Every structure is written in structure tokens, then in C-alpha cells.
Structure 1
Amino acid sequence: MRETPQLVHVVQRLSEITLVGFLCLLLAVDTVIAFQVGKAQPAVPLCGLIGIGAYLLRHRYRAQGAVLLMAMSAAVSIAVLALRSHGNPGLAEAGALLLITVGVVRWVRPLRTAVLLAVLSALTLQLASLRPMTSANLAFGFMMFVAWAAAMGIGSYLRYQLERRQATVSAVRRAERLELARELHDLVAHHITGIVVQAQAAKAVAAHRPDAVEPALSAIAGAGADALASMRRLVGVLRAEDDASRNAGATLADLRLLVERFSSSGPQVAFDVGQGLAEPSLAPEVLTTLHRVLQESLTNVRRHAPHAAWVTADLRPAERGVALRVRNPRTSADPRLSKMGGGYGLVGMAERVKAVGGDLVAGPAADGAWEVRAWFPLDRADRETTAS
């Protein structure tokens, strides 16, 4: 079965081909009319050809293409009116300008530029409908105004949806970063407390057993290095402009407990921890983030695939780090496959994993299952370099 994202891509391409084919059909009509009318009318198909080119190149030259088409169309309209030549409005140029107007209103930034271009497109359409001023062309101008209003409505709605999603994604990322910052604060406080206790113990035994001070100083130095590393990550998270339940100090036992609780009220989960993995090899913030990713992944399974026949999760060494993978069967109706649909848990997870130097990938696997894979470097220097 073809993957849903590929199917969506094919549908988008087919719709674009259909629209371009429709514009070419209108251009053919304009060309036939141009040969019949003569005089200045042959310039009209040229405008339509420029409009089709601007539509095809809209992703790279959206505003420039709109300005070029409007300038050419306005020049032809002014020439026809000045020469008092008989002519007809261009169907292809009008159709291309309407389609480009939808994209301009949706994508062009800032908003005032998009509005200005949209208003100019309305004026251009009205000017094109007066070639010359006849009752038929006046009716055409009214139809173009209605079509322009519809294009404005469609573009405005799509822009609203896009900006609302971007705002929601930014809020999710910011909340996730603040939550992680609070957890890192707890970890730093834990390190500082250990330093204070070790220092007080060293001071107490220094007078009677000087040989016992050196191990205590080594422990203080190690705790200080860990505290500084966590503090650097904390500052990096707080400085970020963009991106939950708290589980500071999570352990591997907490991961197993989380799986057991999920299995008691949902699909059974097979959880496996690879050989060689132990808590001392995993930084506290990595364990905390692993717990968060596993929790969010299982929550998504319960929300989107509550009747899944199987769910597997494994934590194993991988590529100079550790990788957590959660898999479950999916169907084509899974809302997580939609770019615009579903919740924003994956956004928060990705931002959280990235903040501690890791990487997260979620999506359909080659065998048809849904897979979430989070990777973290084990080396402290690698984590600090990646996170910064």
C-alpha cells in the first residue's frame, strides 16, 4: 500500500497539473479570440502566458510574479483604452491572477504587503474588464470582483490556519523548554546539595583524619563538574527563543513502571532494555527525557490506536549513544499522518529531545508500523556541543 504522505504529494501534484491545464485551455480560447479580433488583442494571450509562468514559479518568485503579471495586464488595458481599440478581457490572465492572489494572501509577509498586492490585483482585474467599456465587459468585471472576493476569502482562511498552527507550535515548544528548565533546575540543586554535604563532611574529618579529605575533595570536584554541565544546559534552554509532566530524576525502574501501568489499562507493551545499559551511563536529564518521550508515545498509542494488537518499546545502545524506539501497528486513518491534524505532543517531544542534544524521528515505518525513535549521545561533551 502506498504511504499516505506520498499519496498526498501525488494528489497535490495532480491538482496543480489540473489547474495549469485549465489555464492553458483558457489561453487557447484567448488565442482564438486574438486572431479574430486583431489590433491590440494579440497582447492579451501574452499576458495569459506570463500569468501561467508566474503561477508555475510562484514558490520562488511569488510577489515578483504577481507584480510582473499585474504590470503587464495594466499596460495592455491602458493601451487598449488609449487606442480606443476593440478588445476582450483575457481569461487566462484573469484566472492566473486569481490563483496567484490566493497564494499571495496566504504566504507573503508582512501582512501589509500581501494586502497591498491583493488590492492591486483587484484593480488590475477591474481595469482588464474595461477593454473597452461594454455591457458584456461590465458584467465580466462584476464576475471578476466576486471571484476576487472568493480568492481573498480562501487565502485569508488558509493564512489564519497557518498562523494559528505556528503560534500553537511555538507555545508548545516554549512550554516544553520551560518544563525542562525546571527539571534541570532540580538536578542542579541536587548536585549543589551534594557538594555542600561533602564539603561539611571534609571539614569535620580534616582535623582528625587528613587522609580522608582527598576522596571527599574528588567527590566535590565531580559533583561540581556535573552541576556546571547541567547549568550550561539550563542556561542554553532558557536563552532559546522558542521550545508535560515533571519527572525529575527518573530511573530505568520508572520506565518499566510506566510501561506496566500502561499495559494494565491499554494494549500490552513489550519493553526491553539492551545489555550494557545502566543508570550511571545515562545523564539524569537524559533519563528524564526518555521517560517523557516514552510517556508521550504510549499516550499517543492510547489516543490514536487504542485497539492495537501489539506495542513494542526497546532501549538499546546505538551510534555512540542510546536509542528509544516505540512501535505499534497503524491504519491509513491514523490522524498522526496528517501534517496539519492531530495534537502537538510530537512537537514538544522533538524540542525536548533536541534541548538535551538528541534527535527524534516519528512517522510511518517501511513495514507499515508507526514508529517513534529518540536518540541521545552518551558522551557529556557531545550532548553539550549538540545542545548549544
Structure 2
Amino acid sequence: MLRTADWPLRRGLVIAEVAVLGGLNGEQVVRWLVQHEPPTAGEAVYFVVGVVAGGLALARRRLPERTAALAASAIALSLVFSMVGFFAEPDATLNGDPEAIAVILLVGASCHRVPPRGAGGLALLGGVAVVAAPGLRYGIDFTTLAVAVLWALLWGCGVAVGLMLRDGDVRREAALSAARNRERLALARELHDLVAHHITGVVVRTQAAGVVLAGSPEQELIQEIEHAGAEALAAVRRLVMMLRSPDQLALVTTGGLVETVEAAVDGDEAVTVELASGLAELAVAPETVSTVHRVVLESLTNVRKHAPEARRVSVTVASAAEGQSLRIEVHNDGLRPGRARRSPGGYGLVGMRERIVALGGTLTAGEHGERGWRVLADLPLPGGAAADRPPERGMTR
């Protein structure tokens, strides 16, 4: 299914479908008016069938969850009137047959959206309906056979396009899932560094307490606490080492918030860094510092990759909501008009969002101003919640 960001493409496809279906039906009406001959009963019936089938084909865009029912209705309508035409032999002449186009569109949509078994059945019945209709309705001759071959080819194209769209959706979902899983594994690998820091502090304090309480009745209890802490630290290390790949380095940033932002910018003179006063003294959890590093680094990577012509790139970090949250904003002016809507996008921001949501924060990314693109992240600080949670927008670039 097309994403909201691809609305111009979707609108173009809708206009094309309306033009084709409306043009084929309108051609018959114009022909009747020009020839000053009223349609025969058979031609009138097939015209109505074509209009109804076209309406069902267009309705699938408004009701994608009803694609199977719409396709089944159009196919059944086509088959029924083909059989009526075979037995009644109506006085009709071969025409553009918009009904066949509508059935082919619905077959393609079924191959895209309907579960495999249902899609296979609808595709088969739809192929029978469009290929058999010319011969059953108008008799078998060279012209109707040629038309049947044409419909068969178009039916094959409809099935192929539907399957390609289905494959594209599957691949995209798999890529999104892989991006989320990679970020979760990265967070799991960071768990060792974060937990080890705190457990080591507990063990050191326990050892100090053992020295102070040497010879007292509490010394045995202190030693048990020390031993339990050491075992917990070893267990965490063993578990996380199984998740760690040889070519992957630890992602935790051990410096302060200001040093972390400066390290992510890496002295790039094209980037303007604006840090609010008091950030160095701000109480920020280690996982938040690591996430700030990831947000700035990923955002600047996207700027270099997707907007190399940007003349101004800024990174702003400040506390928000009266110190309840930390706000990171990366903005550039290298967006061409309409570029964000056409870009298929990557998955870096998907993983970034997974990390931020896990901390209780929010992330938005999208157009900002006439030529601007902005990544805005809000991370809660100790005792606070993410500030001013904005509505989620398209996150790919």
C-alpha cells in the first residue's frame, strides 16, 4: 500500500484510472450520440455492467480492506452477464469493454492486498472472466480471439504488478523489523556497560564496608552481598557478550553531555552548534547521553547523504519544559521542494525512534520552513517527562 508521503503518485494513478475507465465508457456514449442511434438492449446492459465494474475498481482505493469483496463482486458480475450473453445472444457489438479493465485492476489489487489463497482464487477467476467474455458475448471469430489474447496479456500484467507491490511491502516490513531489532540489540549490548557501572559501585562499597566491619558479626553478610554482586556482574557480561558481534564496538558514550555533542559533530565547520548554558551541570542519565550522541550523529549523517547542498546545518541542545526534558534539534536548509515526498527513505531514523521511545521520549522528522528539514527529539530528564510531545509525522528522508 502506498504511504501518505506518496500521495502525489497515488493521485496521479487515480486520475489515470478515472481517465481510462471514463474514456472507454464515454466513447460509447459519444458514438451513440454521433450516430443518432439508441443503444440496443445488449449494448445498454453491457454499458451498465462496465460502469458498475469501474465503480467497484475505483472504490478499492477508498476501501482497501474490502478489496477481496469488491473484486469478487466485479468478477461474478462479469461471469454472470457473459453466461447470459452466451445463452441469450443479445444484439450487441464488440466495444472497448471497460469492464475488463476494471476486473484486471481489481485482480492486481487482490494480488497485492488479499491473503495468498484468496488472491490466487480471485486471480484465476478474474482471468477466466476477462478472457472468456469476448467469445461468450459476441461469438467466436478472429476479432474476439484477438481481443481475448489482449485481455489475457493485460491480466498477466495486472497479476505481475500486484505481486511486485506485495513483494515490495513484504521487503519494506522486513527492513523496518530488522532496523528495530538492530536497535534493540544495540540497547542490549549497552546494557552491560550501564549495569556494570552501577553493580561495580555496589561491589566496591560492599568491599569497603567489609573492611570497616572486619571481625564483626555482619562481616559474613557483607561478604555474601559482595559475592552476589560479582556473580550478577559476571552473568550480565556473559549474556551480553553473546549478543555482541566482533565488528561492533560499544556504543555507550562515557563523557558528559557537552563532550558527547561535540564528539558527534566531530569538528565539522559547516555545522553550527548551539548549546544552552548549564548543560554541563545538567543531571543526565548515561543512556540519555548515549541517545543524544546517536540522534546527532544519525541526523548529520542523513544531512551529508541526502542534502549535500545544504548551506546551513545547526545542532541545538537545550533543556525544555522547565528542566523536565532535554530537546535536541538538528536543522538544515538543503531540502528541495517536493524532495521529501519522493524519497523512498532509509531506516536509520526507525532505529533512532526505537531507542528514544524506549526512554519515554518522542521523535519527529520532517519539512520545516520553505527549504528546511528538521529532526526534533525530546528526552525526559530524571523526574520529568518528555516535553511538548508533537504529533508523529513521516520519519524517512
Quickly name the TM-score band, shorter chain normalised.
0.7 to 0.9
Structure 2: gaps of 5 or more residues: 217-221, 390-397
How big is the shift at 1:334? 8.8
Q: Which residue of 1 aligns with 2:250?
A: 246
Q: Aligned AA for 2:197?
A: H
- CA distance in structure 1 between the aligned counterparts of 2:16 and 2:312, rounded to whole angstroms: 42
- CA distance in structure 2 between the aligned counterparts of 1:286 and 1:21, rounded to whole angstroms: 54
* 1:48 aligned residue (43, 47, 50): 50
* 1:94 correspondence with 2:100: yes
Q: Which residue of 2 aligns with 1:331?
A: 335
Q: Aligned AA for 1:137?
A: T
Deviations 1:99-129 (A, max 9, x none): 2222222222x22322221121111112222
Q: Which residue of 2 aligns with 1:286?
A: 288
RMSD: 3.4
Q: Which residue of 2 aligns with 1:344?
A: 347
Structure 1: gaps of 5 or more residues: 210-215, 239-243
Q: SS at the partner of 1:368?
A: coil
Q: Which residue of 2 aligns with 1:202?
A: 209
Q: Which residue of 2 aligns with 1:174?
A: 181
Q: Which residue of 1 aligns with 2:395?
A: none
* 1:116 correspondence with 2:126: no
How big is the shift at 1:307? 4.2
- CA distance in structure 2 between the aligned counterparts of 1:297 and 1:33, rounded to whole angstroms: 60
- CA distance in structure 1 between the aligned counterparts of 2:110 and 2:316, rounded to whole angstroms: 47
Q: Aligned AA for 1:311?
A: V
How big is the shift at 1:42? 2.5
Q: Which residue of 1 aligns with 2:325?
A: 321
Q: Which residue of 2 aligns with 1:24?
A: 22
* 1:163 aligned residue (162, 170, 177): 170
Q: Which residue of 2 aligns with 1:69?
A: 74
- CA distance in structure 2 between the aligned counterparts of 1:77 and 1:6, rounded to whole angstroms: 39
Q: What TM-score results when the alignment is normalised by the length of structure 2?
A: 0.77
- CA distance in structure 1 between the aligned counterparts of 2:45 and 2:267, rounded to whole angstroms: 70
Q: Aligned AA for 2:113?
A: W
How big is the shift at 1:276? 3.8
Deviations 1:225-276 (A, max 9, x none): xx9xxx9xx9xxx9xxxxx86321443243243245251xxx5211122234
Q: Which residue of 1 aligns with 2:394?
A: none
- Contact 1:177/1:355 (8 A) holds in 2: no
Q: What is the percent sequence identity of the aligned residues? A: 34
* 1:142 aligned residue (132, 137, 149): 149
Structural mapping, 1:306-385, within 5 Å: 306-319=308-321, 320-332=324-336, 337-340=341-344, 342-379=345-382, 382=385
Q: Aligned AA for 1:353?
A: I
Q: Aligned AA for 2:22?
A: C
Moved more, 64-73 or 97-106: 97-106
How big is the shift at 1:66? 0.6
Alignment length (residue pairs)? 350
- Contact 2:190/2:252 (8 A) holds in 1: yes
- CA distance in structure 2 between the aligned counterparts of 1:297 and 1:121, rounded to whole angstroms: 48
Q: CA 1:336–1:197 in structure 2 vs 1: closer, same or farther (change >3 Å)?
A: farther
Q: Aligned AA for 1:94?
A: A
- Contact 2:42/2:90 (8 A) holds in 1: yes
Q: Aligned AA for 2:365?
A: A
Q: CA 1:14–1:260 in structure 2 vs 1: closer, same or farther (change >3 Å)?
A: closer
Q: SS at the partner of 1:57?
A: helix
Structure 1 stretches of 4+ with a deviation exceeding 6 A read: 32-35
Q: What TM-score results when the alignment is normalised by the length of structure 1?
A: 0.79
Q: CA 1:276–1:381 in structure 2 vs 1: closer, same or farther (change >3 Å)?
A: closer
- CA distance in structure 2 between the aligned counterparts of 1:375 and 1:303, rounded to whole angstroms: 24
- Contact 1:329/1:370 (8 A) holds in 2: yes
